[in-house]
Amino acid sequence: MKVRFAPSPTGYLHVGNARIALANALFARHAGARFLLRLDDTDRERSRPEYEDAIRQDLAWLGIAWDETFSQLERLAAYEEAAEVLKKAGCLYPCFESEDELRAKREQRLKRGLAPVYDRAMLKLTPEQRAQAEAGGKRPYWRFRLADGEIHWDDLVLGKRVVKLPTVSDPVLIRADGTPLYTFTSAVDDLYANITHIIRGEDHVTNTGVQIDLMRALGGNPTQIKFAHLPLLVDQDGGKLSKRLEGLSLRALRQDGMEPNAIVAYLARLGSSLSPELRPIEELAATYELGKISRSSARFDMTQLLRLNRQALHTAPFEAVRDRLPAGANAAFWEAVRGNLDLLTEARHWWDVVSGSITPPIIEGESEYLTEALDLLPPEPWDSTTWGAWTRAIKLSTGRGGKAVFRPLRLALTGEEHGPELAALLPMIGRDRAVQRLHLASY
């Protein structure tokens, strides 16, 4: 058994890509299958080496490993050979129409109430007409002649699927400049690599029908391949998430402080009846089944992802995050603040609170109280008992209790209404900073 994840290095991976990559990885681990990372990089204008590197880095960050990898640019000769096979079989034919001509044809068919399917006019092209076009400086692009009839398969997620080939335009497989296109290269490579399971998004359903027909024309046996199409992601309101996916790149989420195990836990069960749980990827794979994925669109909920991220941070040991914390932050600091973080990047603010310079708000009506609290501030050294001893003294001296005691002190010392326990923060803040902030807040 063998699966593949085949991103194009034309941009950064986003959560939609990650979901497909993870589905393949979890399926492979569960079934003992091999995992191929294939880079679909034949688009030379848009593909970039830095995106290739980013893809590998992002997958490794998520904990997704692959058994083998190759780039489609390494296999251009194989696509040329496959094209010759199709040409000799009469399945690949040259075309010379411009995009404007094709657009006019589509508009005419729509006006007549017909589907805007390519009319195969170039199949009637004579050798003389082709020679004349090429003599005029035109170079042909090549279309694959689809078979008549229907393509059926039993999808591992969507159930029985059918694609009626007469309702689909003959796809262009090779551009006029000789560049092979995705529909073609993917089918050739899936046969070459002996892929047994293709797991991808629902937007590829029609493409699957075309590629099955293409594989047959190439002499392959596509019945040996099983297909699974995951329903597309929608936002919380049910709208398409595709327009916002670039803002949900793995790189951006990582920079924002999202934890990889939270993303994996969320995407692994997104669209299924199982609730997301923070578990090692091996445990998630043990219970992963494509049949548990709903046929309905999966709703991507950032609130739920953040909840998992909070859980991941609240239980993360210092060693797991130390290289991503501000310089100088120690285990005591991490233990004090981790329970109040949604994102790891928020630790920067709390490090400024305990070791840097902040400007607390002026707390109206509390000048006298803060001055008295300052007078009662004990001398150093401080430890975890200092906060309790200080606030008890304040209560006895002022007669205050509850929120009236604690809120002004928290605002003065941290600039925040809520946050980590001050019993832990106060010794890190230290007496000099505490005195300065209490003065500023009491003006």
Per DSSP, the residues of 315-359 read H--HHHHGGGSPTT--HHHHHHHGGG-SSGGGHHHHHHHHHS---
Kindly give the pairing relationship between strand 159-164 and strand 92-95: unpaired
SS3 162: strand
How many CB atoms are located within 10 Å of the residue 330 CB? 12
Quick one: pLDDT at residue 237? 76
d(Cα 358, Cα 360) in Å, to the nearest integer? 6
Q: Taking the CA of residue 88 as centre, how many other CA atoms within 13 Å lie in the half-sphere pointing to its CB?
A: 8
Gyration radius from the chain CA atoms: 31
Buried b (16+ CB within 10 A) or exposed e, 191-221: bebebbbbbbbeebbbbbbbbbbbbbbbebe
What CA–CA distance (Å, rounded) separates 56 from 297?
28
Tell me if the pTM is above 0.85.
Answer: yes
Structure tokens at 243: 């327009």
How many other C-beta atoms can be found within 10 angstroms of the C-beta atom of residue 393?
Answer: 15
Q: Judge if the upstream peptide bond of residue 231 is cis by omega within 30 degrees of 0.
A: no
- Residue type, position 150, single letter: E
Q: Which residues of 350-369 are buried (b: 16+ CB within 10 A; e: fewer)?
A: bbebbbeebebeebeebeeb
Q: What is the pLDDT of residue 443?
A: 83
* Contact predicate 218/190, CB 8 Å: no
Task: Tell me if residue 261 falls in helix, strand or coil.
Answer: helix
Phi first, then psi, for residue 90 (nearest 5°) are 75, 20
**Predicted pLDDT at 226:** 97
40: helix, strand or coil: coil
Residue-range domains of the chain with CATH? 1-66+231-313 (3.40.50.620), 67-230 (3.40.50.620), 331-441 (1.10.10.350)
Bridge partners, residue 144, by sequence: 92
Q: Is the separation of the CB atoms in 427 and 382 below 8 Å? A: yes
Tokens describing residue 286: 């043990």
- Give the pLDDT means over successive 10-residue stretches in the chain (443 positions): 96 93 97 97 92 97 96 97 96 94 92 91 92 91 96 97 96 96 97 97 95 96 95 82 70 93 96 91 94 91 94 95 95 96 95 93 92 96 96 96 95 95 97 95 88
